[in-house]
Structure 1
Amino acid sequence: MNIEKFTAATKDVGGIPVARLLPQGSRRTIGAWCFLDHAGPAEFAADSDGLQVGSHPHTNLQTFTWMLAGEVWHQDSLGFRQLIRPKQVNLMTAGTGSARGIAHTEQTPDGIKELHAVQLWIALPMNQEIEPGFQHYPELPEWQENGVHHVLTTGSFGGHTAPTAQHSPLVGVDMQFDQSARISIPAQAGWEYGVLVIAGSISVGGQTFAADELAFIEAGGAESFTLEGEAGSHIMLLGGEPLPHPTVIWWNFVADSREALQQAVADWNGGSSRFGAEIDLGGTKLKRLVAPEVPQGLR
């Protein structure tokens, strides 16, 4: 079994501490999970506008938003507008290929003064024809076992299956340890696994991981691995089967080559219809974001 530790690159984004765990130089993906931010917990000042992210595009990926505290409005170029609350998932699909994409905005509602979320992206299998779409999942499997509270955000785990749509095999489980516990995680052959520590600490294979650290786990031939968590710990277990092609990321785009990323930048900045209808910003302070050019050395 191979276990690696990754620490977050943390920065302040509009008063929100954001810890980025994926991608990193030596670890870009865990299965098809290709992006992982732990945002918050944050409390906004009374005169703050909170989170206000203008219209921006995505290609060849799904955005997967898991709310822990606060509320956020999602609005996209397909016409969907959806408020997401704690213990809910928003899943937005950009579609695959050079002719598909999507754009959206993200805003905290008036009066909401806190934000805590895990923001993930899922790279789409580019050998499939996948159309843009949006789904909201207000109810997910939730249960208590051996002092650990589980919420299954996607896939199957512990005899439960989430309703969340998938285009490649994945699992995501939010776990909160009400007491110290040792739990066995079944390992699927050929899958990769990760454990984000949101709070507290866990031990895997004799290594200890603290808040905003990520354990990457290759089980090899093992049928399971063990997590030990202290009371009060909060983690997110991720797993999945790697995609059969490269995953290259720049800004808000995923592709399988640098050339495809360059095309996405040109399409967005040029106002291509690829990304759907312009989003009505309704006189807000939001602005349409500009995509930066792809660096020469990106591969």
Structure 2
Amino acid sequence: MSGPVSTVDAPAAQPDASHPSAPCVEVTDSREATVGKFTVRRALPRRGRRTVGAWCFADHMGPADVTENSGLDIGPHPHIGLQTVTWLTDGQVLHRDSLGSEQVIKPGQLNLMTSGGGVSHSEEATGHYRGTLEGIQLWVALPEGTRHGPAGFEHHAELPRTRLDDGVATVLVGEFGGVDSPARHDTPLVGVDLDLRATSTVPLRTDFEYALVVLEGAVAVDGRPLRPGKLGYLGEGRDELRVEAREPARAILLGGEPFEEPIMMWWNFVGRTREEIDAAYDSWAAQDDRFGRVRSALPRIPVGPPPWRRPDARGRGR
């Protein structure tokens, strides 16, 4: 479920142009992309909306059928400058990384990997689960203070929940409704799974900007319908949100303080400059020690150079 981000999603060589707005309902289409053997609906990043708080990537994956030995089948690949946040609504996935972690994730559990200055991982079939697989993978851009730090991995088998008017909220990251997730976050941030049966009022923070990604069913905000395949950007300045579930629905609420640091995204990297992306690419291509090794039978994922290092139409380099 990890990336990659392409220039279709957001031009790699330009700084983030996203800006928070006053309360609104700005609906944009997700883009279908292929990750491993799966088709995903990519809600973030999109041109004109790269971030919501520090959230910079959202792929809704599945539902799709998997077997014991054939699932996502995403071989070892690298990350810098971000956290991966993996949340399943159905099925199981095996995570392996260069820190030595080997963890099956199931619905209701959270995998969070912090890349720091460099980490690699794979996402694989479990060897025992056969059935349907569905979920979302999110990326969080790390701030300057921690983005060059050590890599880390954490698995949370249980997360706090709180009641809504007619539904249940599971707090993936941050604080919501008076309960706190144990998951690490390096900037003021929140991520919540909303399981809705009818209209509910959702508490918000006025200093956060927010967005909704619907995974199942249909909701409406201020009369604007939202279904899977759409991102509903909500702006900042709200202290609550009335979400109308027009049928039983599942949605992810993303929020955070607007992320003021300019970011550059390419492939599986979140950096600040071309030079940082170049250095990460060169390390992966050279197979040096920066990203470690993953104990996986799947092949390592190769990649060509960043677009600014490719010859242009007249055969010139950068």
| 8 Å Cα contact 1:10-1:18 kept in structure 2 | yes
Deviation per residue, 1:138-176 (Å, 9 max, x gap): 110123332212111111111111111111111111111
Residue 290, structure 1, aligned to residue 302, structure 2: yes
2:122 maps to what in 1? 105
* C-alpha separation in 2, matches of 1:162 and 1:267: 34
- Residue 12 of structure 1, CA deviation: 4.7
Note the 1:1-299 alignment, pairs <5 A: 1-13=23-35, 15-44=37-66, 49-95=70-116, 100-113=117-130, 114-128=132-146, 130-178=149-197, 180-189=198-207, 191-220=208-237, 222-276=238-292, 278-281=293-296, 284=297, 286-296=298-308
Q: Which amino acid aligns with 2:212?
A: V
Q: Which amino acid aligns with 1:9?
A: R
* C-alpha separation in 2, matches of 1:297 and 1:22: 25
| 8 Å Cα contact 1:185-1:227 kept in structure 2 | no
Q: List structure 1 segments (4+ residues) > 3 angstroms apart after TM superposition.
A: 11-15
- Residue 84 of structure 1, CA deviation: 0.7
| SS at 1:260 equivalent | helix
| 8 Å Cα contact 2:212-2:253 kept in structure 1 | yes
- The alpha-carbon distance between structure 1 residues 263 and 75, as it changes in their structure 2 partners (threshold 3 A), is same
TM-score normalised to structure 1 length:
0.90
* C-alpha separation in 2, matches of 1:258 and 1:231: 46
* C-alpha separation in 2, matches of 1:244 and 1:145: 32
- Residue 116 of structure 1, CA deviation: 0.7
| 8 Å Cα contact 1:182-1:227 kept in structure 2 | yes
What is the identity percentage for the equivalent residue pairs of Structure 1 and Structure 2? 37
Q: Which amino acid aligns with 2:294?
A: I
Runs of 5+ unmatched residues, structure 1: none
Deviation per residue, 1:176-206 (Å, 9 max, x gap): 113x2131332331x2111001111111223
* C-alpha separation in 1, matches of 2:200 and 2:106: 30
Number of residues of Structure 1 aligned to a counterpart in Structure 2: 286
| 8 Å Cα contact 1:195-1:236 kept in structure 2 | yes
* C-alpha separation in 2, matches of 1:297 and 1:207: 43
- Residue 13 of structure 1, CA deviation: 4.4
Deviation per residue, 1:198-249 (Å, 9 max, x gap): 11111122311112211111123x4333222223111110101123311111
- Residue 297 of structure 1, CA deviation: 9.6
Q: Which amino acid aligns with 2:125?
A: T
* C-alpha separation in 2, matches of 1:160 and 1:37: 26
| SS at 1:269 equivalent | helix
Deviation per residue, 1:81-104 (Å, 9 max, x gap): 111111111010111xxxx20001
The structure where strand makes up a greater share of residues is 1
